[in-house]
Amino acid sequence: MTEASPGPIAPGAASLPPGTRVADRYEIASVVGEGAHGIVYRARREPEGDTVALKILHRHLSGDPKVRSRFHREADILRRLQGEHVARALDFLEHDGLLVLVLEYVEGQALEDLLAERATLSPNEAVEIALQICAALGAAHAAGIIHRDLKPANVIVERPDETPGQGGSPIRVKVVDFGLGKVTHGGHPSAISLTEQGMIFGTPEYMSPEQARGEDADARSDLYALGVMLYQMTVGEVPFTGKSPIEVMTAHLREPVPSPRARKPSSPITPSLEVVILRALGKQPGDRYATARDFALAVAAARDATRVVSAGNILTTSQALDDTDLHLVMPDLKAAREKRMRDREAERALSQGSAAAQPFTTTEALASTESIPAPPPGKERSLPPPPAQPAPSPAAPTLAASAGPAPGASTSRGTKSEPIVVATSPVTVRTARPAIPAQSNRSTLIWIIVAILAAGIGVAIGALVGGR
What are the catalytic residues? 149
Helix (H) or strand (E) holding 79: helix 65-80
Helix (H) or strand (E) holding 453: helix 438-467
Query: Read out DSSP for 335-388?
Result: HHHHHHHHHHHHHHHHHTS-TTTS---------S-TTSPPPPTT-----PPPPP
Answer whether 377's CB lies under 8 Å from 329's CB: no
Long-range contacts formed by 111-118: CB under 8 A, 24+ apart: 111/152, 111/153, 111/155, 111/156, 111/157, 111/173, 111/229, 111/233, 112/151, 112/152, 112/153, 112/155, 114/152, 114/157, 114/160, 115/152, 115/232, 115/233, 115/236
Rg (CA), the chain: 33
Q: At what angle do helices 271-280 and 323-351 cross, to 10 degrees?
A: 40
Answer whether 147's CB lies under 8 Å from 178's CB: yes
What phi and psi, each to the nearest 5 degrees, are found at residue 294? -60, -45
Is the previous residue joined to 373 through a cis bond, with omega within 30 degrees of 0? no
129: Cβ–Cβ under 8 A, 6 or more apart, which residues?
A: 111, 121, 155, 157, 171, 173, 233
Given CA atoms 87, 88, 92, 96 in this order, what sign does their dihedral have? negative
352: Cβ–Cβ under 8 A, 6 or more apart, which residues?
A: 358, 406, 407, 408
- Identify the bridge partners of residue 450 per DSSP, sorted by sequence position: none
Please count the other Cβ atoms lying within 10 Å of the Cβ belonging to residue 181: 27
Please count the residues of the chain. Answer: 468
**Rounded CA gap, 1 and 91, in Å?**
7
DSSP letter at 281 equals T
For the chain, helix (H) and strand (E) counts, in that order, are 13, 14
**Rounded CA gap, 321 and 221, in Å?**
30
Q: At what angle do helices 123-142 and 292-301 cross, to 10 degrees?
A: 160
Going by C-alpha positions, the residue among 257, 202, 193 that lies closest to residue 228 is: 257
